[in-house]
Structure formats: structure tokens, C-alpha cells
Amino acid sequence: MAENTQKDPEMILCDMCTEEDRKPARKTCMKCEISMCVQHLQAHLTTPVLLQTHPLTEPMVLCGTTKCPQHGKLLEYYCLDDMTCVCVSCAIEDQHRLHNMKTFSTAHKELMEKLKAEQEALRGKTEDDNLSLEKWEKSESEKLSHCGVRLIEAVTNLRDISLASVKTSVSARMVSIKTSKSSIEAAQQEKDTFRFLQMYSQVHQDVEKAKAVDLRRGLEPGSDRDKLVQEIRQNGERMVKQASNFWGSLLTLLDPEHHQELVATGPDLFFEPEIFPSSMSLSNNKRKVLHGTWMGECSATLLIRSTLPIPNFLRWVVRLSKKYNWMIGFCGKDSVNDVKNGPVYALSCEDVNLSCLTTAYEDCPEAPSCPQGFGMKMNPGVPNAENRKLTVSSTALTYQGEKEDEPVPRPETVEVCWNFLAASLSFFSRIGQHQREEICTLEMSLNNWDLVPFVQLKMKNAENTATTEKSWKCSCGKVHTMNGSRYISSPFQFECISMSSNCSCGKKLGGPDITELVCELC
């Protein structure tokens, strides 16, 4: 019998039997650190003290893994927070004392149930969300083929290269899902509690990696993606008008974070003047801001309003003149006349320098609150908020990485995205129809504030412009001199540029030829 048992190298033998007749072990005592056959196991099964204090597992080779390396005591508990086995001293005295602790058997049961739930979630992630590689490839091929029918052979080659690259990238990401499935199945087949707990940490890591997989993300960041994106961009510039849609589709496929088709601002949004000098006016649809340069001073604050209820996600695009400084974002409803004197989240441009403004109370709670819409009211549950100091911080924006410390260039077209659920405000620089670059994203903290979206405009060197005397000669020959916003030769002061202010001959002072566009919702 002994000779037969020795032929199976994986069989665990009883440590209490004589060397000549060692029988197969039935259980291993983790406290005694010995394996026992049916006969020698009886004492552990019939003695109440041993039964309660000596944990038994399936036969295994211990190799000194049952003791805590720090305290030298028996490992008896499992820390769910750190996913590791600990001793009683770790559980009640050291770094694990405030963690979620379980006995081995309880932890085994709970984690097995969790693995089953995550296995179902991964199955749903693949099936319900239609993330299979075959369906994805078919969908993208049909969409791009429709755009590429009228294009020359060079464009078709670009499509094939892009699809092959993305397919390779997606296939690599599929490995994480397959690995997680294999890990879960291996863990579920493991009957021994101690072995299961030892391998659970790796299984958990595999599952988390699989849950983070997004098959629609495009190519992984790196030189290969940058090179391919650049190649497509250069070829796109030489394509005819019909190729523009195809080119944009490829960029969105490869790098959706930076390439999305520019969608016009919804027709429900419009400007509402809050501070509006006589030198400025609005278009009839209230989506363009005009300035009569012949009238000097230009410093205005406009709110952005909507004719419709505000959704959970809102975006607008503003085109701005290079001649003006500006600030875009959200400010306090009661501090619109002086946005920096109250809560503000904004992107600011002074000359060619960009900066972001954020606001917080001292000891502001960490958890963000979901705003309620335009004129949104943040969570009113902040105790004694009115007695706490308000801090507005301004941070200059510079590049990171290879262009570290270089200033971010001034954008002409800014896309603003407000996320209701995430309580975040993002700004993008739009370059052409398909390309965009993120400028910054601001997190809105928990406070009792009423916030409204706004745009603030100011002509560069407006102080000097406002005090400079200017003149305008009418076609009738009469010369009108203006200082600030008042014509010396006229008995009235302008209230609005859109109002009729005429020369004695009847012609409008200044004329429409020197009225320029300052900004517009586009």
C-alpha cells in the first residue's frame, strides 16, 4: 500500500503515521501544521476544544504559509478591504482593525457569491451591450464603406489601415475579458478554502481589468496612434469636399476623445444681457453679440438662457474675436455684476494667456452635489455655509509632458460641456469640423450656491479706448466727435447701438460698416 501511494506525487500523506505505513491524509490542521489520516483525525473531530480552535482544511502542503509573518500567529481571518489573510493581532490591533474582517468560511461564501455576480455582469457586458468584436467590425465597416464609395483608392487604403489597426487593438483588449473568465472559472472549481482565498486577489485584479475594458475606445494612446491620426489628417486636407465626412469618421473611430464632429449649439440657447454698454447690441435671434468699434468702450456680461428645460448634459459652442478678452463658465446668480466676487467656475482669457477659475469654501465637503439646472442650486445641506470664507482660485493653464510649462494657445472657438450627474464643466478648443482638444475640466464642489452660465467680454486695453476722443465724418460733411459713449455734437447719450442715432441729415451715426462681431453661439 505504501509503495502505491508513493507513486502519486500529488497525494498528501498523514504526518502522524509511521514512515513504513503512511496513509493518505483526510484533513490538514492549520494550527498544528500537520496533515492527518482518518484514524489520527479523530482527536480533532471529537475533542470540543480542538474542534473549536483548530481550523481544518483539505489536505495541503503548508510550507509555513499558515502563520502571520508580522506576529507569528495563526492566520484565522480574511480582510475583505485588503484581500489578504490576517491573524487575530492584525485584526484587532494593527492596520486592519477598522477593516471588514470575516472568518475563512464566511469570506469564502461571500466572495464566491460575488464572483458569480461579476461573472453575470461580464456576460451581460459582452452580450447585452453588443460588444462582440464580430458585430462591432461589421457595423463600422458598413458605415465607413458608405462614405468611401465615391473616394479614390488612396482613401480606401486609409480606411483599411485604420480598421485593421483598431481591430488589432480591440482584439488585444479582449484578452482581459477572456483572462477574467478563466480566472473566475478556476476559482469556482477550487474547493479548498485556503487556496481559494490565496488566489482571490489575482482573480479580483483580472475581473477589475475586464470591467474596465471598453472595446469602442479606439486605439491605445501612443506613437502608433499618433502617427496614424497624423497621416489621416494630412491626407484629409487634400481630399475633395465629399471626402470630408469620411475623413472625420476615421478620426472619430481611432481617437474619439479628440475627434468628434462639430455639432451646432441647440437653437434653444440665446444670450441675455446683464451688463451691456451702449456700444453693443444683439442680433435678432440673440445668438450674436455686436460691437460698434467707433463707440469705444466694450465691457459686457451676458447670461446664457434656454427656452427649454435643461437636460442632464448640456453643451454650447462660442466663437470669439481675437480683439477681446473673455471669460466663460458658471457664476453666482447674485454676483453676475462682479463674477469674481462670488462663486465662479470658468475659463478665462487675458491677451494670449488662459487660466481656469474654481471656487470652494474653507473645509468644503469632499462629495460633489448634482446641480439642478440653469440657475442651478447646489445642495443646501451645508451647515453654516453663509459664515464660511469663500475662496476663488485662478490657475494658469500650461501644457504637460513634452511641452511642459508652455502656455496653452488661445482658442477662437470654445466648446463648453456641462455634465449634470458628474457635476463637472469641460472646455474644448475646436479646430475645424472634426478636431477638438481638451483645455481643462473643472469639478464643481458641494456648496449652497445658485449658479448661472455666463460669458464676459472686454476689449483689450478698454480703459484707454474708452477715454479716447474719436470722430466720424458723415457723408453730408458734418464731423461728429465722441468721447467715451457720448457724442459732443449731439445732445443725447446712446442707450443702445441698435437704437437709431442719426446725424442732422438723417444718416445713422457711425454707420454699419464699422460694427463687428464679438462672439456668437455657433
Per CATH, is 2-106 categorized as 3.30.160.60?
yes
Confidence of residue 151 (pLDDT cuts 50, 70, 90): low
Confidence of residue 21 (pLDDT cuts 50, 70, 90): confident
Asked if residue 433 lies in contact with residue 261, where contact means CB atoms within 8 angstroms, the answer is yes
Give the dihedral sign, CA 64/66/68/71. negative
Once rounded to an integer, what is the mean pLDDT over residues 228-248?
A: 69
d(CA 473, CA 475): 7
Instruction: Tell me if 176 sits within 8 A of 218, measured CB to CB.
Output: no
How large a percentage of the chain has pLDDT more than 70?
71
Q: Based on C-alpha coordinates, what's the Rg of the chain?
A: 35
Supply the mean pLDDT for the chain.
75
Of 201-215, 314-328, 424-438, 506-520, the one with minimum mean pLDDT is 506-520
For residue 134, pLDDT over 90 is answered with no
pLDDT score for 480: 61
Protein fold of 269-463:
Jelly Rolls (2.60.120)
Give the per-residue pLDDT at 378: 46
Tell me, what's the pLDDT at 495?
Answer: 30
Q: Which three cell numbers stand for residue 100?
A: 471588514
Range of lowest pLDDT (188-197, 212-221, 266-275, 457-466): 457-466
Residue 466: pLDDT band by 50, 70, 90 thresholds? very low
Most confident of 106-110, 154-158, 224-228: 106-110
Distances (CA, A) of 415 to 149, 217, 400: 32, 21, 21
pLDDT tens-digit profile of 360-419?
876 544 433 333 445 554 444 444 445 567 788 888 887 665 556 677 788 999 999 988
CB 49 within 8 A of CB 72: no
CB 420 within 8 A of CB 377: no
Contacts of 28 (CB under 8 A, 6+ apart): 12, 34, 35, 36, 56, 57, 58, 59, 60, 62
331-360 burial code (b ≥16 CB/10 A, e <16): bbbebbeebbebbbbbbbbeeeebbbbbbb
CA atoms within 13 A on the CB side of 125: 21
Summarize the chain as % helix, strand, coil (round to 5).
35, 30, 40
Q: Residue range 283-307: average pLDDT?
A: 83
Q: What is the pLDDT of residues 60-107, one digit of tens each?
A: 776 556 778 788 777 888 898 888 888 888 888 778 878 888 888 788
Instruction: State whether the Cα torsion 159-164-165-169 is positive or negative.
Output: positive
273 strand-pairing partners: 302
pLDDT-derived band at 345, boundaries 50, 70, 90 = very high
Tell me what the mean pLDDT of segment 306-313 comes to: 81
DSSP for 102-133, please give it: EEHHHHHHHHHHHHHHHHHHHHHHHHTTT--H
Q: How confident is the model at residue 472 (pLDDT cuts 50, 70, 90)?
A: low
Q: Residue range 137-161: average pLDDT?
A: 70
Pull the grid cell for residue 220. Answer: 491605445
The residues near 337 (Cβ < 8 Å, ≥ 6 apart) are 274, 275, 301
What is the three-class DSSP state of 267? coil
pLDDT at residue number 399: 67
* Cell reading at 203: 482573480
pLDDT tens-digit series, residues 411-434 = 999 999 988 777 889 999 988 777
Which among 338, 181, 130, 167 is positioned nearest to 254, based on CA atoms?
167
Instruction: Say what the pLDDT of residue 285 is.
Output: 92
H helix or E strand, kind and range, residue 136: helix 133-148
Asked whether residue 346 carries a pLDDT value surpassing 90, the answer given is: yes
Say if pTM beats, i.e. exceeds, 0.85. no
Most confident of 9-18, 200-209, 340-349, 378-387: 340-349
